[in-house]
């Protein structure tokens, strides 16, 4: 697949716009003063979600948080620290919270809704007390804020408290890194270099690097050729990491909670990676020549195309590395996003340098090239073998997309992959214009199907689970009832629900006319549904029953429904 600059910008934009940290402590907490003006309208800034009030008493502080409706704070994420050596903080005393399963940390945690108070005893001989407080919370709607740091400057004599979201000037100096991290810069850069190197062993990156190395040994014979392509590949990797850092820091300054790895919370980006890995796997397996060209780079060391291919391979390697976090990357990334922009970009550059380092060594140390196995038929078998970790990565991402959205969207992605293969097959049949048009239309449909499934997903009317007792109670009150007996493996049922039962007009009509919607799911065996089917002489689903308001028997609707047919029947039943 020949990657154009447009494709490069699109992939990097998708990657950069969704990035966030996966490690718990790897977040930047400082935001600029203009963040509130451009933050997402769906969520309030963190300082508006959690309002802190401090009461000063003798040898203790009462820290009172007022929490906005729909938001909560984690008990285990509170941290308190003294900013001077003359003050000692005792163990904080927390109020009891609500225990709930947290999808972000994937475990049960104690959280606070509405408000909470923390009693913080202290001892000091000074007249002022300087503290740093850290808290973290989330919104029920799905956003989790990074840990939020606040600094308290307390006049103990007058009991006046100043609260700031900015660190004191003394702790913001670039050479005072120890204030925010116990790791020296040199050690963090070493971690970044090591993490970038280990990233090459991840299942999504290793096949690309391996094919690059094999093609490199076969096609770049001279020292000058090896050096140039090694530098160009490195430039592709490092520039991609730097671009990610710049966009990430810009968005974080705008109030977005993003960092490395959070892009996988975007279903569209996950689907983009599924398609990318699937095409790469086809190329490695030998079924798709266009996929092989993604990784067989630098075939002509003297051509501009070869250099561009090496650069784009570096970009591709960075893009497909996004689902992975290698050891040592966590501390480096956590340090990077808590420092100045210059240091953060430097750390990301070292991550890229570490990822490119194996190839740099191969390009500049001739002895390493000579130690590689000689080219032969085994190379093609090895390349085909490398396709399997790529396929497994695509399967994992498909599972992620299904968990994020629904099984319907996951099925749409599989349909899109089938259409993708079909379109490529049609394209290779012949070069006739009509064949190419059909192939292009099929490929466009392959890309559109999952996007359409996400954007156009309908929510069916609120329903009650069918039971004979519930139906009897509703009929005893002379209420109209619509019963939908369905199953996930019933194609007709799914089509009817999509076309007729989930339309806005039908949903609104059911709500306005007070029609009770009962749904019986026969995906698994259910004797009660089976009994109802047999009562109406049916051996399978779908079965649609409509009981009118007042006394009367059920009307059996056709097995193939339209929106107008359902609306007419509902109006008649509602009286």
- Residue-by-residue DSSP string for 239-299: HHHHHHHHHHHHHHHTT----TTGGGG-HHHHHHHHHHHHHHHHHHHTS-HHHHTTTS--S
Joined together, the tokens standing for residue 317 give: 């390697």
Is residue 379 within 8 Å of residue 199, measured between CB atoms? no
Find the length of the chain. Answer: 575
Domain boundaries along the sequence of the chain? 5-21+180-404, 35-166, 464-574
Is residue 97 within 8 Å of residue 75, measured between CB atoms? yes
Residue 274: CB atoms within 10 Å? 24
What pLDDT is stored for residue 175 in this prediction? 38
DSSP string, 480-547: -EEEEEE-TT-HHHHHHIIIIITSHHHHHHHHHHT-EEEEEE-SS--HHHHHHHHHTT-SSS-EEEEE
What pLDDT is stored for residue 296 in this prediction? 44
Give the integer Cα–Cα distance in Å for 437 and 247: 38
The angle subtended at Cα 49 by Cα 115 and Cα 171, nearest 5°, is: 105
| 19-22-24-26 Cα dihedral, nearest 10 degrees | -50
Give the integer Cα–Cα distance in Å for 464 and 213: 59
Give the integer Cα–Cα distance in Å for 481 and 574: 9
What pLDDT is stored for residue 451 in this prediction? 86
One digit per residue, the tens of pLDDT, for the chain of length 575 reads 333 434 433 443 444 433 333 333 333 333 333 333 333 446 788 888 999 999 998 888 999 999 999 899 999 889 998 887 678 888 889 998 898 887 666 678 899 999 999 999 888 888 888 889 999 999 887 788 888 999 998 888 888 889 988 777 654 443 333 344 445 788 888 888 888 888 777 766 777 667 666 665 555 557 777 778 888 888 988 998 888 788 777 766 665 555 555 566 678 888 988 998 898 888 878 777 643 444 443 344 344 446 777 788 778 777 777 666 556 666 666 666 666 778 888 888 898 898 888 888 877 776 676 666 666 677 678 778 878 888 888 898 898 888 878 888 899 999 999 999 999 889 888 888 999 999 999 999 999 998 888 876 555 567 889 999 999 999 998 899 999 999 988 888 988 888 889 888 898 899 888 899 999 999 888 899 999 999 998 888 999 999 998 888 899 999 899 999 999 999 988 87
Give the integer Cα–Cα distance in Å for 308 and 487: 52
What CATH number should be reported for the domain whose range is 35-166? 2.60.40.1250
What pLDDT is stored for residue 73 in this prediction? 94
Find where tokens 């012949």 sit.
430
Give the integer Cα–Cα distance in Å for 363 and 310: 12
Residues near 299 by beta carbon (within 8 Å), at least 6 away in sequence: 215, 219, 306, 309
User: Is 302 strand, coil or helix?
Assistant: coil
Question: Domain 464-574 belongs to what architecture?
Answer: 3-Layer(aba) Sandwich (3.40)
The number of C-alpha atoms within 13 Å of 471 and in the hemisphere containing its C-beta is 20
């Amino acid at each position: 697949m020949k990657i154009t600059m447009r494709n490069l910008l699109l992939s990097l934009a998708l990657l950069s716009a969704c990035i966030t940290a996966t490690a718990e402590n790897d977040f930047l907490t400082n935001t600029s003063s203009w963040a509130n003006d451009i933050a997402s309208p769906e969520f309030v800034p963190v300082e508006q979600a959690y309002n802190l009030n401090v009461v000063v008493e003798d040898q203790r502080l009462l820290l009172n948080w007022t929490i906005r409706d729909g938001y909560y704070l984690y008990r285990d994420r509170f941290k308190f620290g003294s900013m001077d050596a003359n003050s000692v903080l005792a163990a904080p005393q927390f109020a009891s919270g609500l225990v709930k399963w947290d999808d972000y940390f994937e475990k049960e945690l104690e959280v606070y809704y509405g408000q909470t108070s923390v009693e913080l005893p202290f001892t000091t001989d000074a007249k002022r007390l300087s503290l740093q407080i850290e808290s973290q919370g989330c919104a029920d709607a799905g956003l989790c804020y990074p840990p939020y740091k606040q600094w308290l400057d307390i006049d103990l004599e007058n009991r006046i408290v100043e609260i700031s979201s900015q660190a004191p000037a003394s702790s913001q100096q670039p050479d005072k890194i120890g204030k925010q991290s116990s790791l020296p810069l040199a050690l963090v850069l070493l971690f970044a270099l090591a993490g970038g190197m280990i990233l090459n062993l991840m299942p999504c990156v290793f096949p690309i690097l391996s094919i690059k190395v094999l093609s490199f040994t076969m096609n770049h014979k001279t020292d000058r050729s090896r050096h140039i392509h090694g530098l160009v590949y490195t430039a592709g990797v490092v520039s991609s990491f730097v671009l990610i850092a710049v966009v990430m820091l810009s968005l974080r300054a705008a109030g977005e909670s993003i960092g490395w790895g959070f892009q996988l919370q975007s279903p569209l980006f996950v689907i983009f990676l599924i398609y990318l890995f699937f095409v790469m796997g086809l190329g490695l397996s030998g079924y798709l020549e266009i996929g092989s060209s993604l990784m067989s780079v630098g075939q002509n060391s003297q051509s501009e195309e070869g250099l561009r291919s090496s650069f784009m391979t570096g970009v591709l390697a960075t893009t497909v590395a996004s689902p992975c976090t290698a050891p040592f990357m966590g501390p480096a990334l956590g340090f990077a996003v808590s420092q100045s922009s210059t240091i953060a970009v430097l750390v990301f550059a070292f991550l890229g340098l570490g990822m490119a380092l194996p190839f740099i060594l191969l390009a500049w140390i001739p002895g390493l090239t000579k130690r590689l196995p000689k080219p032969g038929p085994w190379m093609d078998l090895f390349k085909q073998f490398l396709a399997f970790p790529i396929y497994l990565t695509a399967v994992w991402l498909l599972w992620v997309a299904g968990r994020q959205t629904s099984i319907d969207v996951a099925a749409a992605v599989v349909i899109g992959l089938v259409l993708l293969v079909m379109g490529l097959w049609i394209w290779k049949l012949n070069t006739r214009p009509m064949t190419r048009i059909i192939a292009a239309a099929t490929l466009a449909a392959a890309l559109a199907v999952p996007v359409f499934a996400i954007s156009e997903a309908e929510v069916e009317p609120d329903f009650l689970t069918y039971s004979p007792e519930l139906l009897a109670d509703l009929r005893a009150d002379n209420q109209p009832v619509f019963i939908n007996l369905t199953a996930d493996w019933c194609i007709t049922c799914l089509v009817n629900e999509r076309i007729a039962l989930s339309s806005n007009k039908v949903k609104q009509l059911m709500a306005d006319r007070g029609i009770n919607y009962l749904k019986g799911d026969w995906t698994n065996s259910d004797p009660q549904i089976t009994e109802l089917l047999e009562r109406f002489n049916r051996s399978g689903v779908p079965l649609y029953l409509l009981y009118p308001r007042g006394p009367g028997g059920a009307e059996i609707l056709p097995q193939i429904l339209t929106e107008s047919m359902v609306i007419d029947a509902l109006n008649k039943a509602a009286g």
